[in-house]
C-alpha cells in the first residue's frame, strides 16, 4: 500500500540531519509556475514557490516576486511605427498555509500586482500603470507519500482549489469596446495597439478552478523536481473569459551541504505555458492562444530546515511569432519564506 512509504519518526531520525532538513525544505519548494493573471502574463499569480515542511502541525509564510518584461513583436514592413510598445509586470505573491497532518494542508495566496505600459491609443503614445490586489487563490494539498533512505528521498503532492474574483477587472471594459474591431488586430485597435485591457486587468471577475501535482526527489547530491498545473476558466466581468491554461516545469541540478544546518542548490529549469483562446460574448478571440517555453538557471538555499530562498531567471526558447501582441523577453523570480514548527 502507498502508505507504507511513510516512514516512522524514528526511522527518519536515522538520516543525516542535513538530509532531513534539506528534504523538509526542498520537498515543497517547487516552482508551481505562478498562475495566469492576464492573457499574456503567463506566470505570476497563483503559483508561488513554497517553502513549507511536510511535517504535521507546521505553519509557513513567505513571498515570491516575479518580474516579466514584454516587448514589441517582430513587425511587418510598413508597420515599424507600432514598435517601442512594452509591458512590465511586477507581481508579489504573499502566501501562508498550515499542515494539519503529514498528508493534508491548506494555503492562501494573495497577489499584489503592478503593470507599467507604453502603448498606442488613438494614434498617440500613451504611458501609464495599473496596480492593486489581484485574484486571491485558495489551495488544498494532499501528500500521499514521503520516501526516505540513507542516500535518497522522494516526495509528491496533489493540490486543487479556487481562484476568487477579488482583483479589479475594470480594464476588461476596453475589450468590450473593441470587440467589433478584432478581425483587424488581435487587440482590436485599428491604430495598432499591442497592450489592451486583458493585459492590464488585475482580476478576471470569474471563479476559476486549479488542479495540479508536484514532486521533488534527491539522490546523493543530485536533485530533481517538477510540477504540472491546470487552470479551468469561467466567464467573468464584461462577458470576458480567459482561456484555460496548462503550466509545467522540470528541473535538475546539484546541491551540497556546507554545514549540517544549510544547503545550496543550483538547478537548470525547463518550463512552459500553454493557453487556449480567450472568449468575449461567447466567441473565440483569434490570436489570443499562446505557447511559451522557457529555460534558465535557479539558485536556492535553505537554513536550519526553516528558511528557504531562491533566485531564478528564465529566457524564452520558444514563443509565438505573433505580429499582433507583445511577447516575453525574460522573467526573474525571487522567493523568501519561513516555516514554523508547532
Q: With a cut of 70, say whether residue 95 has pLDDT above it.
A: yes
Residue 180, number of CB atoms within 10 A of its CB:
9
pLDDT average, residue stretch 71-81:
62
Q: Which pLDDT band holds residue 57 (cuts at 50, 70, 90)?
A: confident
Residue 116 pLDDT level (bands cut at 50, 70, 90)? very high
Q: In this predicted structure, what is the pLDDT of residue 323?
A: 57
Residue 272 scores a pLDDT above 90: yes
Q: How far apart are CA 147 and CA 192, in angstroms?
A: 55
Spell out the residues 6+ positions from residue 18 whose beta carbon is closer than 8 angstroms to its own.
Answer: 257, 259, 260, 261, 262, 263
Residue 84's pLDDT is 78
- 288 vs 54, higher pLDDT: 288
Q: Distance between CA atoms of 341 and 60, rounded to whole angstroms?
A: 9
C-alpha cell at 308: 528557504
Residue 138 pairs in a beta bridge with 108, 162
Percent of the chain with pLDDT over 90: 49
Query: Any idea where the domains of the chain sit in the sequence?
Result: 2-341
pLDDT at residue 158 tops 70: yes
Residue 185: the pLDDT is 47
Please check whether residue 81 is in contact with residue 75, taking contact to mean a CB–CB distance below 8 angstroms.
no
CATH architecture of 2-341: Beta Barrel (2.40)
Average pLDDT in the 51-65 region? 75
What is the number of helices (H) and of strands (E) in the chain? 4, 16
Using 50, 70 and 90 to split pLDDT, how confident is the model at 51? Answer: very low
pLDDT of 257? 76
Per-residue pLDDT tens over the stretch 187-237: 545 557 888 899 999 999 999 999 999 998 888 889 899 999 999 999 999
Residue closest to 110 by CA, chosen among 84, 135, 144, 85: 135
Whether residue 38 has pLDDT greater than 50 = no
Mean pLDDT for 4-21 is 46
What are the DSSP calls for 84-130, one per residue?
S-EEEEEEEEEEEEEESSSSEEEEEEEEEEEEEEEEEETTEEEEEEE
Q: Which pLDDT belongs to residue 179?
A: 66
Question: pLDDT per residue over 279-327, tens digit each?
Answer: 999 999 888 888 999 999 999 988 877 888 999 999 999 987 655 678 8
CA distance 196 to 179: 12
311 vs 85, more confident: 311
List, edge to edge, every strand of the sheet that includes 283-284: 240-241, 279-280, 283-284
- Please compute the mean of the pLDDT values over residues 13-22 and round it to a whole number: 48
Alpha-carbon distance of 336 to 290, in angstroms, equals 30
pLDDT of residue 68: 95
How high is the pLDDT of residue 177? Answer: 73
Q: Indicate the pLDDT class of residue 58, thresholds 50, 70 and 90.
A: confident
Q: What is the pTM of this model?
A: 0.83
Mean pLDDT computed over every residue of the chain: 80
pLDDT of the residue at 181: 58
Greater model confidence, 141 or 179: 141
Instruction: Using the predicted structure, report yes or no on whether residue 22 has a pLDDT greater than 60.
Output: no
Per-residue pLDDT for 42 more than 80? Answer: no
pLDDT at res. 154? 87
CA dist 159 → 47, 142, 202, 227 (Å)? 11, 6, 24, 11
Confidence of residue 14 (pLDDT cuts 50, 70, 90): very low
Three-state DSSP class for residue 330: strand
Amino acid at each position: 500500500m502507498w502508505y507504507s512509504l511513510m516512514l516512522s519518526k524514528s526511522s527518519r531520525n536515522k538520516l543525516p540531519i542535513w538530509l532531513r532538513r534539506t528534504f523538509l525544505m526542498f520537498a515543497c519548494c517547487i516552482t508551481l509556475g505562478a498562475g495566469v493573471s492576464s492573457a499574456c502574463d503567463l506566470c505570476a499569480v497563483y503559483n508561488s514557490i513554497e517553502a513549507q515542511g511536510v511535517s504535521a502541525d507546521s505553519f509557513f509564510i513567505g513571498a515570491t516576486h516575479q518580474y516579466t518584461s514584454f516587448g514589441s513583436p517582430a513587425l511587418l514592413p510598413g508597420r515599424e511605427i507600432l514598435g517601442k510598445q512594452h509591458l512590465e509586470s511586477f507581481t508579489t505573491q504573499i502566501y501562508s498555509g498550515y499542515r494539519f497532518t503529514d498528508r493534508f494542508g491548506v494555503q492562501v495566496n494573495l497577489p499584489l500586482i503592478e503593470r507599467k505600459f507604453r502603448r498606442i491609443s488613438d494614434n498617440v503614445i500613451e504611458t501609464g500603470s495599473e496596480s492593486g490586489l489581484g485574484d486571491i487563490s485558495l489551495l488544498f494539498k494532499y501528500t500521499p507519500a514521503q520516501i526516505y533512505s540513507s542516500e535518497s528521498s522522494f516526495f509528491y503532492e496533489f493540490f486543487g482549489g479556487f481562484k476568487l474574483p477579488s482583483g479589479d477587472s475594470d480594464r476588461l471594459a476596453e475589450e468590450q469596446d473593441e470587440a467589433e474591431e478584432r478581425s483587424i488586430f488581435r487587440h482590436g485597435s485599428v491604430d495598432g495597439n499591442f497592450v489592451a485591457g486583458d493585459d492590464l486587468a488585475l482580476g478576471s471577475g470569474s471563479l476559476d478552478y486549479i488542479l495540479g501535482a508536484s514532486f521533488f526527489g534527491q539522490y546523493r547530491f543530485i536533485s530533481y523536481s517538477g510540477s504540472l498545473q491546470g487552470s479551468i476558466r469561467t466567464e467573468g466581468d464584461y462577458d470576458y473569459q480567459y482561456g484555460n491554461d496548462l503550466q509545467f516545469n522540470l528541473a535538475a541540478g546539484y546541491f551540497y551541504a556546507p554545514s549540517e544546518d544549510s544547503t545550496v542548490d543550483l538547478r537548470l529549469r525547463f518550463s512552459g505555458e500553454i493557453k487556449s483562446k480567450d472568449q468575449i460574448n461567447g466567441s473565440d478571440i483569434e490570436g489570443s492562444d499562446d505557447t511559451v517555453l522557457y529555460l534558465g538557471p535557479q539558485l536556492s538555499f535553505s537554513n536550519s530546515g526553516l528558511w528557504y530562498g531562491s533566485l531564478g531567471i528564465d529566457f524564452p526558447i520558444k514563443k509565438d511569432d505573433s505580429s499582433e501582441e507583445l511577447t516575453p523577453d525574460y522573467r526573474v523570480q525571487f522567493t523568501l519564506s519561513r516555516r514554523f514548527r508547532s
